[in-house]
Amino acid sequence: MDTITVTIDGQQVEVDQQATLLDAANKLDIEIPTLCYHPDLTLHGSCRICVVEDAESGNLLASCATPVTDGMKIKTASDKVITARKMNLELLLSDHPNDCMTCEADGACELQELVYEYGVTEPSFGLMEEQKFEVKNENPFIEFDQNKCILCGKCVRVDNEVQCSGAIDFTERGFQSKVGVPFDQDLGADHSSCVFCGQCVEMCPTGALTYKPAKGLGREYELESVQTTCPYCGVGCQIELKVKDNKIVKVGSVYQEDSPNPIGETCVKGRFAYDFVDHPERLTKPLIKKDGEFEEASWDEALDYVADKLTTITEEDGGEAVAALTSARCTNEENYLLQKFMRGVVGTNSIDHCARL
Amino acid sequence: MAGLAASFGSGAMTNSIGEVEKADTIFVTGSNTTEAHPVIASKMKKAVKNGTNLIVADPRNIGLTEAADIAVTQKPGTDIALLNGLMHVIIKEELYAEEYVEERTENFADLKEAVKEYTPEKVEEITGVAAEDVIEMARTYASVDRAAIYYAMGITQHKSGTANVFAIANLAMLTGNVGKEGTGVNPLRGQNNVQGACDLGGLPNVYPGYQSVEEPELKEKFENAWGVDELSAEAGLTVVEMINKAADGELRGLYVMGENPVLSDPDQQHVEEALEAVEFLVVQDIFLTETAEFADVVLPAACFAEKDGTFTNSERRVQFVNKAVDAPGEAMTDWQIFCELAKRMGYEMDYSSAAEIMAEIAEVTPIYGGISYDRLEDEELQWPCTDQDDPGTKFLHQGEFAHGKGIFHPVEHIAPVEAADDEYSYIMMTGRMLYHFHGGSMTRRSAAVDQHEPDAYVEINVEDAKELGIEDGDRVKVASRRGEVETYARIGSIVKPGEVFMPFHYAESPANRLTNAELDPIAKIPEYKVSAVKVEKV
Amino acid sequence: MEQSIYRSHILICGGTGCVSSGCKEVRSSLEDELARHDLEDEIKVLETGCHGFCEKGPLIIVYPESVFYCELKPENMEKLVEEHILKGKIVEEFLYQEPVTNESVRSYKDIDFYKKQERNALANCGHIDPEEIEEYIATGGYQAIGKALTEMTPQEVIDEVKDSGLRGRGGGGFPAGLKWQFASEAEGDKKYVICNADEGDPGAFMDRSLLEGDPHRIIEGMVIAAYAIGADEGYVYVRAEYPLAIKRLRIAIEEAEEYGLLGDNLFGTDFNFDLHIKEGAGAFVCGEETALMASIEGKRGMPRPRPPFPAQKGLWGKPSNINNVETYANVPDVIQDGAETYKQVGTEGSTGTKVFALTGKINNTGLAEVPMGITMREIIYDIGGGINDGKEFKAVQIGGPSGGCLPEDKLDLTIDYDSLLEVGAMMGSGGLVVMDEDTCMVDVSRFFLDFTQSESCGKCTPCRVGTKQMLDILERITTGEGQEGDIELLEELAENIKSTSLCGLGQTAPNPVLSTLRYFRDEYEAHIYEQNCPAGACEELLGAYVIDGEACVGCTACTDACPVDAISGEAKEEHQIDEDACIACGACVEKCPVDAITQ
């Protein structure tokens, strides 16, 4: 493919013809702030935060939406650019609650970050005085506070383009525009096609969409993230367990090219069914049944008992008198070891699992 | 599995999940994809938005039918007739891949003969699918460059399960849709590591990597690798056989790791009797499951979030599981438990990490030969991956089938074991729902999902409900020849009149108390999808 | 031809303006009268599209004498038939009277409203029956298609349009030929032509009148465009609020299909073209081309970033050419008469004519087609008949909500695309709203901002929130709450909205504010600093009314008129107004016979 040379803040860079100004800047590690842009979603171009200046004409261009043309000269931090970004931030702030202190997204809010970075300390247009919308949170999964929405449309796009459930879309016009749900009901209500995959929450740059079960359990910056494979169906989605104090607080998306779920897809189970992990009914000690009742035992006691019993049976009736069920939910390594144990130590090929079920 | 292995020489999903969007036509049958494999269903819907044709054939009006170009609801247990009908039309209209059939397959003449009598009209009679829909399905599937079939338990959980899979494989080979990107025969795995459990020898007839236990050379190889004198040369028992033998008192010891046969196996009462009868039952699990209640010893295990290891997904991709939190109390990982146990039985199993176990797996398992933790750090690997330089395999059977030529196995329609009669006048199917999983031990203990879907239910068609005097939300009794359960009625039009559906995740209303343990003769899969039941208001 | 059978033809204007002033009733009364005199076989009544002079509707023209009657009522028909049709005597009282000279005018051609017009696009409007394809063909219609298809290559068609200098009549004035060239060069096996008939500017009805009065002309223009760019399918996107236009267009499409002017193998060539109507729900933003295409696709009408331009990726991702109704209406003349002839009218940079919708405080409201280069003064005073009620001219708003307000010293500006941009306005689709001395310019910009704010699609930040902030400030100013710094803040906001909005709607939304700030800044300042509305229009800024006790004659007329009983006083005695209760509606002032009430 033919390449094009553009100059950004005085540095030349060669990019392919299809590239946008944002791509070109990224290549130079020049940071341009964005709110509505996401590489996996269709181009929206609505937040107007990523504007840059065309040095020749002085025009402001949305860098996410403007293709490069040969010889273009771009300024990403001119006064004009900064003024425009700042004013658009002020405009967003004028229509946004000022409750960062208690907001679930505090510390992970892209609007908060930019407002701070651009020093919007005294917004020209004041702050939102009264809530425009009632918060929707009757379902157990997602809290939807339309007041905090900046209409970047990432949720709408991921819902319609990736999850394809068509649960949310833009409604109303002008200042009353919002991301709407059918009949203004809660997500998941009678007429809602929401399936609680949570991808909208992952995409939301503010606190408009948040996970209900994670509420109050930890600020994003306190959480440790561990990538792993979802424990449910056979798709093998990559997910991110977010942990605080040895407790899974929420499940985040992993955006990894060439994985089974490259755009962070998951379903409601992968996203929300994690609290069995620290459920009070988890087994914490070996149990041995004595006189029909389980009694707690030490590992040594339990393992010795199992070893003795298996040894006795095999000695008396051969390995064939014992069988094992391996698990479709244990790891490859564990399945391997169980069959090795049964075949090599106990002496039976009677190993199966519920693949057929 | 067995069906696919016989047809192609390998039983896994032939193509990759990412290829869903590359198909020109997607044919989904026996898979309620939006509920059981939602992420794949989304990819299918996305493909449809970009112009892919979608055919759905399922006895129920499942969620995916909304996105489908053609959706048909065949009667339960009539898949072979439908598939044979499609092949009949394809051959008659010369839509099949002549060159491919010629070069890459065997036994075409027999297939042609077998499907000859399955005219669209006859198929309509058996399946209830209109003749013109059969023709249109055939054309939509066969007239494109890339057509992919996705199926799940709706195909396999029948007495004719293996034959059903043969029919699917026949259809794909007939149209040249095996061995090419965006095509294939793709069984969707219901549990995250079913594939891995099969791959690593969790089957009675094969060692890891589908190496037959009855092959002396292979037996010797494993004896040497494991340092043991004599391995058994006979295939072992399958799940249902184990249960039967246990019930008969012929099996003395049963070791269960992370499974809950009381809920997941057919004919629950029979399973319970078996577990009661077995002399020594060890259950290694994270909860005191319905099965563990019967155990003599229960060993507390770590769950997925508490250990390192790998899972192999439906598309043969080996992926990491990473430890995020500590296991509760004294719970140990399953692999550490086996090391300890083996030691106590006089066999040294000494691994310091899961990675070490994988290194051993790679040595003895050719299809995993090139897989290592080092590579997995930054590579996506799908087996077969035979050595360090092998980038893995996105789709199988390119250029050649695993055992040379693809073999057509002509099959005939076989009626399900049970049919509706005067007493048991409804056909019950079982399956999954979006919000719960398998035996429910995980999802029923996850507050949000269980709060959203707390109650078991049986889906009943509006017309039947009217006749039975049942309203939405009523308590009802569902009974089969094997038992009865109480549950809530969910009235709608997802199931057709004369048919009902129950999810099997609820211990309080266990659907498998009603199901039939009648097995597919080859794959030994029970006929979960067709049980005759009666329904009445409580 | 059919026409020769009749002794006389009566053309009755059936445009939407005349429908609302009662032409349907006039027509049925006329037909009754003709029937009563057994004249049906001698006299043919024809309903035409808009004749343009909506102010004076319902209108009738009687041929062959070409007598123009206006402001007719059903009860006038008896006399008209008896006098004119039976006796051949022109009925003076129904003729148009020039407002200044009070002279009656017999032929519409002699009326000032028509004299300075150059009716090309509107040539047939008001003169043919738009529901009869034969009538369009009889005026030379569909010859241009024949010429294009049989004598010209697509590129020659494009070159002719380029040579003609025809520019888009819908907004920005982009050269039509160039747009066609891009669409023609774009690669694609499927292409579309789209006609934007989503006329959304308040007070604009050029496109509606064209569709109602001469739908075949639009079809012909679109077929030519389709041939030029290689499209085989087209859409007319017309707002559902135009039922008559839709009905006539639908009839026209059916007729054209019957006559082989739409469909396959037109004029025996291998060129095929099908045309569909898509009804819009009347969102202003759907006039923006990318939003319009989204709407045709069944999506929410929301603009998307350009590029890619519609010519590259348009409807359903295929290369598409989109022009508005009036642009397509010019195409048949360009092809039939040639670019050279077409260019004779207008200026060098803006060729041809432009249709304007005259509204506001002007005597002759209606539709006027004038050559480019005419002055504003000629339009307002010669064609429009000046300001009504003898008031003073104050400003003219041109270009709709995206345009600007021009003051008196711009009256001699010649109108073309570029001169308008220079003075802070734009051609837009051709709405002309005339304002008199009683109009408050701050209130005018508030009105337009209110419009664009509520019509914003809500997608981009500056348009969704910025216009709301501008509107809030303007509301503040017009209610006496203006603060120091408001003007500067308006200017900053305007600059930001102009330079960072996603689509044309946002980028031009501040124009009414910017142009009024440019020409009427003193009015803003008076509102803010003196709490005074110089035009006397902003009610909250007007003081309470007081009665001059000396002048009051105690007639009680004011007491009766006051809707809130704020005036007290005995008959024949001095009256008083309760300042707190007074809502300054001015009803009393109008009733006072001695002008004793002032503010």
Chains A and C touch (3+ CB pairs under 8 A): yes
3-state class (DSSP) for residue A16: strand
Final residue in a domain of this structure, among A35, A58, A77: A77
Judge if A265 and A328 occupy the same domain. Answer: no
Judge if A137 and A255 occupy the same domain. Answer: yes
In a domain, A62, yes or no: yes
- For an interface test with B, the pick among A142, A257, A265, A329 (most B C-beta atoms closer than 10 Å) comes out as A329
Give the mean model confidence (pLDDT) for residues C264-285.
92
A175 interface with C at CB cutoff 8 Å:
yes
In a domain, A228, yes or no: yes
Give the model's pLDDT for residue B419: 86
Judge if A295 and A220 occupy the same domain. Answer: no
Judge if A198 and A238 occupy the same domain. Answer: yes
Lowest mean pLDDT among B8-12, B198-202, C417-421: B8-12
Give the model's pLDDT for residue B9: 58
| CATH code at B426-537 | 2.40.40.20
CB A91 within 8 A of CB C466: yes
Out of A48, A66, A172, closest to residue C500 by CB: A48
Q: Which pair of tokens denotes residue B386?
A: 């035979």
Burial of C178 (0-12, 13-18, 19+ CB in 10 A): middle
Give the mean model confidence (pLDDT) for residues C170-197.
93
C-alpha torsion sign, points B152, B155, B161, B163: negative
Give the mean model confidence (pLDDT) for residues C256-262.
94
CA B10 – CA A260 distance, rounded (Å): 21
Burial of C38 (0-12, 13-18, 19+ CB in 10 A): exposed
Give the model's pLDDT for residue B2: 59
Helices C441-455 and C511-529: crossing angle in degrees, nearest 10, is: 130
Give the mean model confidence (pLDDT) for residues B56-70.
94
Bridge partners of A12, per DSSP, are A7
Q: Do residue B194 and residue A345 have CB atoms under 8 angstroms apart?
A: no
Task: Kindly list the partner chains of chain C, i.e. chains with 3 or more CB atom pairs below 8 Å.
Answer: A
Which of A39, A2, A46 shows the shortest CA–CA distance to A22? Answer: A39
Give the model's pLDDT for residue C1: 39
CB C273 within 8 A of CB C226: yes
Tens-place pLDDT, residues C454-509: 999 999 999 999 999 999 999 999 999 999 999 999 999 999 999 999 998 999 99
Question: Based on the structure, what is the number of domains in chain A?
Answer: 3
pLDDT of C140 over the 80 cut:
yes
Give the model's pLDDT for residue A167: 94
Distance from CA of C472 to the nearest CA of A (A): 10
Tens-place pLDDT, residues C345-363: 999 999 999 999 999 999 9
CA B84 – CA B107 distance, rounded (Å): 15
Judge if A33 and A134 occupy the same domain. Answer: no
Task: Please report the DSSP string for B278-315 in residue order.
Answer: -SEEEEEESS--TTGGG-SEEEEB--GGG--EEEE-TT
Out of B222, B331, B443, closest to residue A284 by CB: B331
Tens-place pLDDT, residues B122-140: 999 999 999 999 999 999 9
In a domain, A281, yes or no: no
Distances in whole angstroms, Cα of residue B290 to Cα of each of A198, A296, A326: 32, 18, 17
CA A54 – CA A69 distance, rounded (Å): 11
Burial of C311 (0-12, 13-18, 19+ CB in 10 A): buried
Give the model's pLDDT for residue C2: 44
Task: Kindly list the partner chains of chain A, i.e. chains with 3 or more CB atom pairs below 8 Å.
Answer: B, C
Burial of A7 (0-12, 13-18, 19+ CB in 10 A): middle
Judge if A228 and A306 occupy the same domain. Answer: no
Instruction: List CB contacts (< 8 A) between A323 and chain B.
Output: 236-237, 242, 245-246, 251, 253-255
- B317-321 and B381-382 beta bridge pairing: antiparallel
Q: Which residues of C touch A (CB under 8 A)?
A: 283, 285, 300, 302, 304-305, 307, 453-462, 464-469, 472, 489, 492-493, 496, 499-502
Lowest mean pLDDT among B77-86, B264-273, C55-64: B264-273
Judge if A292 and A201 occupy the same domain. Answer: no
Tens-place pLDDT, residues B245-254: 999 989 999 9
A95 interface with C at CB cutoff 8 Å:
yes
Q: pTM for the complete prediction? A: 0.90
Distance from CA of B350 to the nearest CA of A (A): 11
Return the number of other C-beta atoms located less than 10 Å from residue C543's C-beta.
Answer: 12
In a domain, A94, yes or no: no
CB B393 within 8 A of CB B382: yes
Instruction: List CB contacts (< 8 A) between A20 and chain C.
Output: none
DSSP state, residue C38: T
CA B135 – CA B362 distance, rounded (Å): 47
What fold, for C133-342? Rossmann fold (3.40.50)
Identify the residue with better confidence: C410 or A130.
C410
In a domain, A112, yes or no: no
Q: Do residue A268 and residue B325 have CB atoms under 8 angstroms apart?
A: no
Judge if A265 and A138 occupy the same domain. Answer: yes
Give the model's pLDDT for residue A248: 96
Q: Do residue B194 and residue A355 have CB atoms under 8 angstroms apart?
A: yes
The residue in chain A having the minimum alpha-carbon distance to the alpha carbon of residue B40 is: A235
Out of C302, C472, C500, closest to residue A84 by CB: C500
Range of the domain at A322: 287-356
Tens-place pLDDT, residues A296-335: 999 999 999 999 999 999 999 999 999 999 998 899 999 9
Judge if A255 and A210 occupy the same domain. Answer: yes
DSSP state, residue C269: S
Q: Mention the CATH class of domain C353-436.
A: alpha beta
Residue spans per domain, chain B = 2-188, 194-382, 426-537
Give the model's pLDDT for residue B3: 65
State ipTM.
Answer: 0.92
Instruction: List CB contacts (< 8 A) between A65 and chain C.
Output: 305
CA angle B417, B418, B424 (to 5 degrees): 170
Q: Do residue A170 and residue C458 have CB atoms under 8 angstroms apart?
A: yes
Give the model's pLDDT for residue A1: 61
Out of A59, A62, A94, closest to residue C465 by CB: A94
Residue spans per domain, chain C = 8-115, 133-342, 353-436, 441-529, 543-599
What fold, for B2-188? Dimethylsulfoxide Reductase; domain 2 (3.40.228)
Give the pLDDT band (50/70/90) at residue C570: confident
Out of A43, A125, A151, closest to residue C305 by CB: A43
Give the mean model confidence (pLDDT) for residues B200-224.
92
pLDDT above 70 covers a percentage of chain C that reads 99
Task: Please report the DSSP string for A265-305 in residue order.
Answer: ---HHHHHTTTTTT-TTS--S-EEEETTEEEE--HHHHHHH
Beta-strand ranges (E) seen in C148-281 are 192-197, 233-239, 274-280
CA B491 – CA B472 distance, rounded (Å): 5
Judge if A144 and A266 occupy the same domain. Answer: yes
| CATH code at C543-599 | 3.30.70.20
Q: Mention the CATH class of domain B194-382.
A: alpha beta
Give the mean model confidence (pLDDT) for residues A166-195.
92
Tens-place pLDDT, residues B350-407: 899 999 999 999 999 999 999 999 999 999 999 999 999 999 998 888 877 777 888 8
C-alpha torsion sign, points A200, A204, A209, A215: positive
In a domain, A321, yes or no: yes
CB B97 within 8 A of CB B175: yes
CA C272 – CA C265 distance, rounded (Å): 5
3-state class (DSSP) for residue C428: coil
Final residue in a domain of this structure, among A240, A272, A304: A272
CB B54 within 8 A of CB B216: no
pLDDT of B348 over the 70 cut:
yes
Task: Please report the DSSP string for B140-206 in residue order.
Answer: HHHTSS-EEEEE-HHHHSSTTHHHHHHHHHHHHHHTT-SSSTT-EEEEPPSSTTHHHHHHTT-BTTE
CATH 3.30.1490.190 is right for the domain spanning C8-115: no
Instruction: List CB contacts (< 8 A) between A84 and chain C.
Output: 496, 499-500
A344 interface with B at CB cutoff 8 Å:
yes
In a domain, A106, yes or no: no
CB B78 within 8 A of CB B412: no
CA A220 – CA A250 distance, rounded (Å): 10
In a domain, A168, yes or no: yes
Give the model's pLDDT for residue C487: 96
Give the mean model confidence (pLDDT) for residues C407-413.
94
Give the model's pLDDT for residue C3: 44
The architecture that CATH gives domain C441-529 is Up-down Bundle (1.20)
Task: Please report the DSSP string for C48-70 in residue order.
Answer: ES--S-GGG-S-EEEETTTEEE-
The residue in chain A having the minimum alpha-carbon distance to the alpha carbon of residue B38 is: A267
Give the model's pLDDT for residue B6: 67
- CB contacts under 8 A, A 83-142 vs B, are 139-141
Give the model's pLDDT for residue B309: 96
Question: Across chain C, which distance is largest between two alpha carbons, in Å?
Answer: 90
- 3-state SS of A90-128 is HHHHHCCCCCCCCCCCCCCCHHHHHHHHCCCCCCCCCCC
CA C122 distance to own-chain centroid: 13
